[in-house]
Structure 1
Amino acid sequence: MTIDHPEPPHCENSDPLAATFSASFAGVVAFIAVATEGSFARAADRLGIGRSAVSRSVQKLEAQLDTRLFLRTTRSTSLTREGELFYRNCHPGVERIVQALEDMRDLREGPPRGQLRISATTGFGRRIVAPLLNRFRTRYPEIAVDLLLDDRPMDFTADRVDVAFRDGRMEDSQVIARQLIPMPMLVCASPAYMRTHGLPRQVEDLAGHTCINFRTASGRIFEWEFKVGGRIRKFQPTSTCTFNDDELVLQAVLDGQGIAQMAGYQISEHLRAGRLVACLAQYAPDDRGHYICYLSRQQLPARIRVFIDHMTAGVRALDLQCATGLTPVRSAVPDEAGDASAASIAWRRRSS
């Protein structure tokens, strides 16, 4: 028995756009130019191509449409009735294309304007990014800013983000990451806590202290990191107090409830004012940073370029590198038996 398989449909008319695109777009542009200028020669000058190229494009379009669009004489060029109908239908679409091209050129070359979608972690966004936006908006009033604060991993494409601020270590090779400043991580306590409990001198001493933990957006407890003997060592202290907001962690430390490892941008101001003291600074990891990230170095719109430059300069101008200038200070702290001979080493910021 023979089974007759139907012939596959011809592709010529299955998709009008695919079937006509190869010849029609250049032909339509040439056609609009000739109709507008009333001359093949002037149309060629406007398009910046040869007259013969314009003529060939129009001829291909006429053959494709199986319709004569122009009446040509030695003295004039005019539209046929079919040409007038085609012109009325095509002209609005071509105008929109031209306007779209001009808009893109304005975004690249004109005054920065448009929508800018930014992502930042909650703490860094509130404390650092948001205040710097005030000056940016004053300088570039035609740029509308949409700031998203979220500690969860961010996807540039799915979240439609133009620029993102990220902390820690950059392991995503798909984005361009420019380090703004290093991100020192220091263990801190209040002077009151230090006077009562002393401070750890080695990483192992943390087990004997009241530690305050931070729960990340993923639900896990943030691990404290130290650099011991040139290698990263992670430590997750036991704690009776855990927060999922880094500002609450900071406040608990300021209130003398315990010690915590925090980022430099959170504690630099408090270290300078003497409201906090740091410890274990000699073990602080030095390979973390604050980064400004975007998808490509090429063809960045003006609004993104000026934002990156503004924020890079603004963040670097802030005194956030609190690990620089710390000096060890020995302070007598009573031990469990009340003996004042025991000593702890605190790290205080030198006055600038």
Structure 2
Amino acid sequence: MQLADLILFVRVADCGSLTGAAVELDISTAVASAGLKRLEKELDTVLFIRSTRSLRLTAAGERYLSYCRRALEDLRLGEQALACAKSQIGGLLSIALPSDAGRNFILPWLDMLMDEHPNLQLRLHLSDSLTDFYHDKIDVALRSGTPKDSNLVAFKICSAKRVLCASPDYLKIHGQPESLTDLEQHNCLFFMLDQRTHDQWCFYKDDQAQKVRVSGNRTCNDAEVARKWAIAGKGVVYKSSLDLADDLKSGALVPLLTQYTGESADLYLVCPGRQHVTQLVIMLREHLRALCQQRIIGVDNIQT
């Protein structure tokens, strides 16, 4: 099977005409016709229904087209990656970061990357709201939780769970909750996303989800503020173990109700499309994976 025949097949499908595809590829109609017949013979499948005026994909041709497009795109990205690898890493990368993680540990990690690659330029967008890649002109974003949009390209950076915790000072005054229903008697610190307050917290025990509606007197649309309130003894917080790693290790926050498992808060590096997966993004992915793994070491032991 020849690569040129696959390219021809896609162009004919897009043009709906053998002649039009031949013109675009700068080959004769006879060469195009021979290439298409060669591909059909190789596959032992009729890809087009031919008439005197046009070509129309068969059902088999429709199915094969999606695979063919994907294969050609992968080859293009592979060539792009090799080309990038041969050149010095540089240029502008626009990246969206969540507020707490961005300020407190990802920012110095990006400084490390820029020190290694002085031609690299960063434009940071710090927000806990979901990123609008096209409106905000974002190349890549870090997000907690599995992206719901299947059109995005997502790389898992780190596995993490939400942890329920409070400061020692808060617990001295209010005591530790012994059950999920006890949380109804505690001041819970809320995070607000897109004008919705997350006041229903979900936990797991024996693979069964258990939800509890909680209340409190403090709400913010910045996740870092909720963490700072918790450290200051203002209430109970329910956040990613990745965000709270330093606080849990230092004892500034104490894990609660450890007989339950918190909700998933896995961290993902997300791109709006495959064309954005450059060598720089791949390098960033590996850089973040290694550092996140170091950060989370030992946190699970603290929670048990």
Aligned counterpart in structure 2 of residue 188 of structure 1, from 156, 162, 165: 165
1:100-179 to structure 2, matched below 5 A, reads 107=84, 109-179=86-156
Q: 1:26 to 1:122 in 2, by over 3 A?
A: same
Q: 1:214 matched to which residue of 2?
A: 191
SS in 2 for 1:324: helix
Counterparts in 2 of 1:24 and 1:231: CA distance versus 1, 3 Å: closer
Specify the SS of the correspondent of 1:200.
Answer: coil
Matched, 1:277 2:254: yes
**Alpha-carbon deviation of 1:295?**
4.3
Distance 1:26 1:113, change over 3 A: farther
Instruction: Give the match for residue 181 of structure 2.
Output: 204
Q: Is the 8 A contact 1:184 1:322 kept in 2?
A: no
Distance 2:23 2:218 in 1: 71
TM-aligned CA deviation for residue 107 of structure 1 = 3.9
- CA RMSD after TM alignment: 3.1
Structure 1 residue 167: deviation in Å? 0.2
Q: How many aligned residue pairs are there? A: 234
| Structure-1 separation of matches of 2:24 and 2:151 | 38
TM-superposed CA distance for 1:177, in Å, is 1.9
Q: Structure 2: how far apart are the matches of 1:286 and 1:258?
A: 19
How far 1:286 sits from its partner (Å)?
Answer: 5.1
Q: Is the 8 A contact 2:164 2:239 kept in 1?
A: yes
Task: Report the Cα offset of residue 324 of structure 1.
Answer: 3.5
Task: Give per-residue Cα distances to partners, 1:33-66, cap 9 Å, x unaligned.
Answer: xxxxxxxxxxxxxxxxxxxxxxxxxxxxxxxxxx
1:263-322 deviation per Cα after TM superposition (whole angstroms, max 9, x unaligned)? 213322122222221101222235331111224567843222222222222222223662
Pair 1:326 & 2:303 matched: yes
Give the Cα–Cα distance (whole angstroms) in 1 for the partners of residues 94 and 294 of structure 2: 23
Contact 1:211/1:237 (<8 A) preserved: yes
Q: Matches of 1:294 and 1:127 in 2, distance apart?
A: 23
Gaps spanning 5+ residues in structure 1: where? Answer: 1-19, 28-102, 328-352
Q: Kindly state the Cα deviation for residue 214 of structure 1 after the two structures are TM-superposed.
A: 2.0
| Partner SS state of residue 253, structure 1 | helix
Q: Decide which structure has greater helix share.
A: 2
Residue 227 (structure 1) aligned to one of 204, 215, 231: 204
Query: What is the deviation of 1:132?
Result: 0.5
Q: CA deviation at 1:201?
A: 1.3
Asked which structure has the greater CA Rg, the reply is 1
**Contact preservation (8 Å) 1:117, 1:162:** yes
- For residue 240 of structure 2, what is the aligned residue in structure 1? 263
Shift of 1:118: 0.9
Gaps spanning 5+ residues in structure 2: where?
1-19, 28-79
Q: For the Cα contact (< 8 Å) 2:162–2:264, is it kept in 1?
A: no
Letter in 1 for 2:303: L
SS in 1 for 2:157: strand
Alignment TM-score, normalising by the size of structure 1: 0.58
Does 1:313 pair with 2:286?
no
1:267, 1:131 → 2: CA distance? 17
What SS does the corresponding residue of 1:323 show, helix, strand or coil? helix
Aligned-partner residue type, residue 273 of structure 1: S
> Aligned partners of 2:181 and 2:282: how far apart in 1?
46
Structure 2 distance, partners of 1:322, 1:253, is 18
**3-state SS of the aligned residue for 2:284?**
helix
Q: How far is the alpha carbon of 1:156 from its aligned partner?
A: 3.1
Percent identity over paired residues: 25
Whether contact under 8 Å (1:167, 1:289) holds in the other structure is yes
TM-score by length of 2: 0.67
- Where 1:215 maps in the other structure, the secondary structure is strand
Structure 1 contact 113–302 (Cα < 8 Å) conserved: no
Secondary structure, counterpart of 1:154 in structure 2: coil
Partner of 1:42: none
Structure 1 residues 269, 162: CA separation in 2 closer, same or farther (over 3 Å shift)?
Answer: same
